[in-house]
Amino acid sequence: MIAPIYVTQPFLPPLAEFQPYLEQIWANKILTNGGPFHQQLEHSLCDYLGVDHLALCANATVGLVIALQALGIKGEVITTPYSFVATSHSQMWNGISPVFVDIEPDTLNIDPAKIKAAITPRTTAIMAVHCYGNPCAVDAIAQIASESNLKVIYDAAHAFGVKHRGTSVLRHGDLAVLSFHATKVFNTFEGGAIVCPDAKTKQHIDHLKNFGFVDETTVVAAGINGKMSEVNAALGLLQLKYVGDALAARQKVDAFYRTALQGTVGITCLAKPINATPNYSYFPILVGTDFPTSRDTLHAAFKAKSINTRRYFYPLISSFPMYRSMSSADPQHLPVATAAAHSVLCLPIYPGLSPQDQARIVQVIHDI
């Protein structure tokens, strides 16, 4: 029986190397609440990512909820329909109305020209997504935000380690939120982080993620429980030792796909980002109308071969019941995002994907 291939698999360091961390946690008898591994991981990630301040949290969805709270965002937030549902769910949980605008055809990131046209007196912020780790048009978004006095939050779930013009893409916006979910380039089993511009903002976020507590008897905000445990932080510290090797392995898979699929009629590989250092977190292809089958038929063909590709992102967020009645969710206003949702297919990419399995994946496309 041929072993199934998944879109991604978590990168796990040798189990034996994790044991000393667990023993230290047991010896410290500190399992959460900002223990020594938690603090160490925050400092180590700041150094690795090239940022000044970072607050770990339980997951990226909680991170987005907290980020909106920290900036006092109300009213309407302009965002993308082409993302994972947590992007807009985090707004709804804060009583905010998402306003969807279309995306750019080349990057599949939010289109700055559409942002400007969607601003109303109720608009307070922009929540953009670095889709597949490709940086948004950060300069254009910053200019629009400045002109209209809007806050900017980046859903940077895919953007671990990504650089824009030589510096961390996480330095853009008022806040940026990372995901350390098991499927990500860097994972802590489950977790996330909020990148902060200064120490005061980080302190406020640290209060919000811990029920609003400053000390044993002082509560300064209506916070929630969004803390990362010591076990998760310990895995993160171990992962950091290997993340360079993991990224290099992903880059090789990316290069293989691009070479092997070059010239395949009806298949387009998403262009590499300009002026950016990518992290190869996903490998999306666009299945065109000139390919012999539809995207969904190709998806089914892969599944029949025990190869799990993903229609990522399909359906659009704006098409789900809690959003589809909004005027901005009308597919007529979102032609590029709608087309992308019906043509994108993400191929498997992860460090443990063997050359033989990479060849199997490409062969399914070539056979059709």
Residue type, 262: Q
- pLDDT tens for 30-81 read 999 999 999 999 999 999 999 999 999 999 999 999 999 999 999 999 999 9
Task: Say if residue 222 is in the same domain as residue 306.
Answer: no
Residue 181, domain CATH: 3.40.640.10
End of a domain among 213, 240, 267?
240
**What integer pLDDT is reported at residue 1 of this predicted model?**
60
Q: Do β-strands 267-269 and 283-287 pair in parallel, antiparallel, or remain unpaired? A: antiparallel
pTM over 0.85: yes
End of a domain among 221, 240, 259?
240
- pLDDT tens for 231-240 read 999 999 999 9
End of a domain among 240, 275, 307?
240
Task: Say if residue 254 is in the same domain as residue 266.
Answer: yes
Task: Say if residue 162 is in the same domain as residue 283.
Answer: no
Range of the domain at 200: 15-102+109-240
Q: What is the mean pLDDT of each run of 10 residues along the chain (368 residues)?
A: 86 92 97 97 98 98 98 98 98 98 98 97 98 98 98 98 97 98 96 98 98 96 97 98 96 98 97 94 98 98 97 98 98 98 98 97 97
Task: Say if residue 229 is in the same domain as residue 249.
Answer: no
Task: Say if residue 43 is in the same domain as residue 90.
Answer: yes
Residue 4 within any structural domain of the chain: no
Task: Say if residue 269 is in the same domain as residue 309.
Answer: yes
Contact between 152 and 145 (Cβ < 8 Å): yes
Tokens of 25: 């946690």
Task: Say if residue 196 is in the same domain as residue 309.
Answer: no
Task: Say if residue 183 is in the same domain as residue 321.
Answer: no
∠ Cα 232 233 238 (to 5°):
100
| Residue 29 CB contacts under 8 Å (≥ 6 apart), including other chains | none
Number of domains, the chain: 2
Task: Say if residue 88 is in the same domain as residue 214.
Answer: yes
Task: Say if residue 191 is in the same domain as residue 254.
Answer: no
Task: Say if residue 47 is in the same domain as residue 176.
Answer: yes
**What integer pLDDT is reported at residue 12 of this predicted model?**
86
Residue 9 within any structural domain of the chain: no
Residue 271 within any structural domain of the chain: yes
Q: Do β-strands 151-155 and 175-179 pair in parallel, antiparallel, or remain unpaired? A: parallel
Task: Say if residue 265 is in the same domain as residue 328.
Answer: yes
